[in-house]
């Protein structure tokens, strides 16, 4: 048994249960993690379940990170583009991160697109620090 296989089983069983029985299922999953020596996976298990849930429903998970945590109309535009392109519905989560300094960090599934000022400055810093060929 792996934490991934337990997450898949958790999602499969959770879909058949009434909502009020999900906490008991989570408790059982925690005991199974402990029993099978997977306690170190306990902190990542909720994320594994979430990823498996979206995979099983076919939804695309999107995270939009901006300085304020509010993407405004960009949220709607991104959802529309992703749904039209992939022909799948999406679940959008917005996060705030003051260190982005402006712009947007977009994560669609496992892919990340950095259109932040912080990312641009880091790229510029790397280019400026690179040695200049003397040919």
Domain spans of the chain, in order of start: 3-55, 59-128
Provide the token pair at 73: 């109309």
Task: Report residue 84: phi and psi, to 5°.
Answer: -70, -40
For β-strands 111-116 and 90-96, DSSP reports them as: unpaired
Side by side, the strands of the sheet bearing 90-96 are 90-96, 60-66, 103-108, 111-116
β-strand partners of 107: 63, 112
Query: Residue range 1-5: average pLDDT?
Result: 88
Cα–Cα distance measured from residue 53 to residue 44, given in angstroms and rounded to the nearest whole number: 14
Q: In this predicted structure, what is the pLDDT of residue 38?
A: 87
Q: In this predicted structure, what is the pLDDT of residue 107?
A: 93
Q: In this predicted structure, what is the pLDDT of residue 51?
A: 86
For β-strands 90-96 and 60-66, DSSP reports them as: parallel
Q: In this predicted structure, what is the pLDDT of residue 39?
A: 81
pTM assigned to the model? 0.70
**pLDDT tens-digit series, residues 24-50:** 999 999 889 888 888 888 888 888 898
Which helix (DSSP H) or strand (DSSP E) does residue 91 occupy? strand 90-96
Map residue 15 onto helix, strand or coil.
coil
Q: In this predicted structure, what is the pLDDT of residue 80?
A: 93
Cα–Cα distance measured from residue 26 to residue 14, given in angstroms and rounded to the nearest whole number: 9
């Amino acid at each position: 048994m792996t934490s991934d296989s337990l997450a898949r089983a958790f999602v499969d069983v959770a879909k058949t249960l009434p909502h009020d029985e999900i906490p008991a299922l989570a408790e059982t999953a925690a005991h199974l993690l402990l029993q099978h020596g997977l306690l170190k996976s306990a902190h990542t298990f909720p994320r594994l379940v979430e990823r498996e849930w979206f995979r099983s429903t076919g939804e695309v998970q999107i995270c939009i990170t901006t300085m304020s945590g509010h993407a405004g109309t960009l949220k709607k535009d991104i959802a529309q583009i992703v749904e039209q392109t992939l022909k799948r519905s999406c679940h959008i989560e917005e996060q705030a991160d003051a260190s982005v300094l402006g712009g947007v960090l977009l994560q669609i599934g496992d892919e990340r697109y950095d259109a932040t000022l912080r990312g641009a400055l880091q790229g510029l810093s790397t280019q400026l620090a690179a040695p200049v060929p003397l040919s």
